[in-house]
Amino acid sequence: MKTFIRFTLLLAAIVILHVSDNQAAAATTAPVPGMVTMVDLGAHSCIPCKMMAPILVELEKEYKGKAAIIFIDIWQNENEGKRFGVKMIPTQIFFDRSGKEVYRHTGFLEKQVIIDRLEMMLEQK
Protein backbone atom coordinates (compact mmCIF):
# COMPACT_ATOMS: atom_id res chain seq x y z
CA MET A 1 0.00 0.00 0.00
CA LYS A 2 2.84 2.39 0.84
CA THR A 3 4.39 1.71 -2.56
CA PHE A 4 1.11 2.53 -4.29
CA ILE A 5 0.76 5.81 -2.38
CA ARG A 6 4.36 6.78 -3.16
CA PHE A 7 3.86 5.94 -6.82
CA THR A 8 0.65 8.01 -6.93
CA LEU A 9 2.37 11.00 -5.32
CA LEU A 10 5.33 10.68 -7.70
CA LEU A 11 3.00 10.50 -10.70
CA ALA A 12 1.10 13.60 -9.53
CA ALA A 13 4.39 15.49 -9.11
CA ILE A 14 5.51 14.50 -12.62
CA VAL A 15 2.20 15.64 -14.12
CA ILE A 16 2.38 18.97 -12.33
CA LEU A 17 5.98 19.53 -13.43
CA HIS A 18 5.08 18.59 -17.01
CA VAL A 19 2.23 21.10 -17.15
CA SER A 20 4.41 23.74 -15.50
CA ASP A 21 7.40 23.21 -17.79
CA ASN A 22 5.30 23.17 -20.95
CA GLN A 23 3.34 26.25 -20.05
CA ALA A 24 5.89 28.47 -18.29
CA ALA A 25 6.68 30.45 -21.42
CA ALA A 26 3.01 30.62 -22.41
CA ALA A 27 2.06 32.60 -19.30
CA THR A 28 3.01 35.86 -20.96
CA THR A 29 1.28 35.00 -24.26
CA ALA A 30 -2.12 33.98 -22.87
CA PRO A 31 -4.52 34.06 -24.54
CA VAL A 32 -2.86 32.66 -27.65
CA PRO A 33 -3.56 34.98 -30.59
CA GLY A 34 -5.88 33.46 -33.21
CA MET A 35 -6.63 30.36 -31.15
CA VAL A 36 -9.34 29.30 -28.73
CA THR A 37 -7.60 29.33 -25.34
CA MET A 38 -8.37 27.97 -21.90
CA VAL A 39 -6.21 29.39 -19.12
CA ASP A 40 -6.24 27.60 -15.78
CA LEU A 41 -4.90 29.85 -13.04
CA GLY A 42 -3.98 28.06 -9.84
CA ALA A 43 -1.04 26.82 -7.80
CA HIS A 44 0.94 23.61 -7.64
CA SER A 45 0.13 23.16 -3.95
CA CYS A 46 -3.64 23.77 -4.24
CA ILE A 47 -5.64 20.52 -3.91
CA PRO A 48 -8.28 21.25 -6.60
CA CYS A 49 -5.46 22.50 -8.85
CA LYS A 50 -3.61 19.20 -8.36
CA MET A 51 -6.80 17.36 -9.27
CA MET A 52 -7.04 19.36 -12.49
CA ALA A 53 -3.40 18.83 -13.51
CA PRO A 54 -3.86 15.42 -15.22
CA ILE A 55 -6.99 16.70 -16.97
CA LEU A 56 -5.02 19.64 -18.38
CA VAL A 57 -2.26 17.32 -19.60
CA GLU A 58 -4.83 15.14 -21.40
CA LEU A 59 -6.60 18.14 -22.93
CA GLU A 60 -3.33 19.68 -24.04
CA LYS A 61 -2.63 16.52 -26.05
CA GLU A 62 -6.20 16.10 -27.34
CA TYR A 63 -6.51 19.72 -28.51
CA LYS A 64 -2.97 20.27 -29.79
CA GLY A 65 -3.20 22.52 -32.84
CA LYS A 66 -6.91 23.24 -32.22
CA ALA A 67 -7.01 25.01 -28.85
CA ALA A 68 -4.43 26.19 -26.34
CA ILE A 69 -4.61 24.77 -22.82
CA ILE A 70 -2.47 26.82 -20.44
CA PHE A 71 -1.74 26.47 -16.73
CA ILE A 72 -0.32 29.41 -14.80
CA ASP A 73 0.82 29.09 -11.20
CA ILE A 74 -0.16 32.47 -9.79
CA TRP A 75 1.75 31.89 -6.57
CA GLN A 76 4.91 31.76 -8.68
CA ASN A 77 3.67 34.39 -11.16
CA GLU A 78 1.78 36.91 -9.02
CA ASN A 79 1.53 39.44 -11.84
CA GLU A 80 -0.41 36.95 -13.97
CA GLY A 81 -2.99 36.54 -11.19
CA LYS A 82 -3.42 40.30 -11.05
CA ARG A 83 -3.50 40.59 -14.84
CA PHE A 84 -6.39 38.12 -15.07
CA GLY A 85 -8.19 39.45 -11.98
CA VAL A 86 -8.09 36.16 -10.12
CA LYS A 87 -9.82 36.22 -6.73
CA MET A 88 -9.81 32.45 -5.97
CA ILE A 89 -8.01 29.42 -7.36
CA PRO A 90 -8.34 27.51 -9.48
CA THR A 91 -9.94 29.86 -11.98
CA GLN A 92 -10.46 28.82 -15.59
CA ILE A 93 -10.88 31.49 -18.24
CA PHE A 94 -11.91 30.68 -21.81
CA PHE A 95 -10.99 33.06 -24.63
CA ASP A 96 -12.27 33.04 -28.20
CA ARG A 97 -10.00 33.30 -31.24
CA SER A 98 -9.99 37.08 -31.02
CA GLY A 99 -8.74 36.97 -27.41
CA LYS A 100 -12.05 38.01 -25.87
CA GLU A 101 -12.96 36.38 -22.57
CA VAL A 102 -16.17 34.42 -23.09
CA TYR A 103 -16.45 32.31 -19.93
CA ARG A 104 -14.96 32.21 -16.43
CA HIS A 105 -15.27 29.51 -13.76
CA THR A 106 -13.83 29.24 -10.26
CA GLY A 107 -13.10 25.87 -8.63
CA PHE A 108 -12.54 22.38 -9.96
CA LEU A 109 -13.92 21.93 -13.47
CA GLU A 110 -14.65 18.47 -14.81
CA LYS A 111 -13.01 17.36 -18.05
CA GLN A 112 -16.29 16.90 -19.91
CA VAL A 113 -17.43 20.43 -19.02
CA ILE A 114 -14.17 21.79 -20.42
CA ILE A 115 -14.52 19.68 -23.57
CA ASP A 116 -18.10 20.86 -24.11
CA ARG A 117 -17.05 24.50 -23.75
CA LEU A 118 -14.04 24.10 -26.08
CA GLU A 119 -16.07 22.27 -28.72
CA MET A 120 -18.77 24.95 -28.64
CA MET A 121 -16.11 27.65 -29.06
CA LEU A 122 -14.32 25.77 -31.85
CA GLU A 123 -17.56 25.47 -33.82
CA GLN A 124 -17.95 29.24 -33.84
CA LYS A 125 -16.15 30.91 -36.71
CATH number of the domain enclosing 37: 3.40.30.10
Q: Which residues contact 79 (CB under 8 A, 6 or more apart)?
A: none
Q: How many domains does the chain have?
A: 1
In angstroms, the CA 125 to CA 120 distance is 10
pTM recorded for the entire structure: 0.77
pLDDT, tens digit only, all 125 positions of the chain: 666 555 454 445 555 444 444 444 444 588 999 999 999 999 999 999 999 999 999 999 999 999 999 999 999 999 999 999 999 999 999 999 999 999 999 999 999 999 999 999 999 87
> By C-alpha distance, which of 101, 107, 124 is closest to 37?
101
Q: Which residues constitute the domain of residue 109?
A: 2-123
Phi, psi (deg, nearest 5) at residue 94 = -105, 130
Give the other-Cβ count within 10 Å of 52's Cβ: 24
> By C-alpha distance, which of 79, 94, 5, 16 is closest to 49?
16
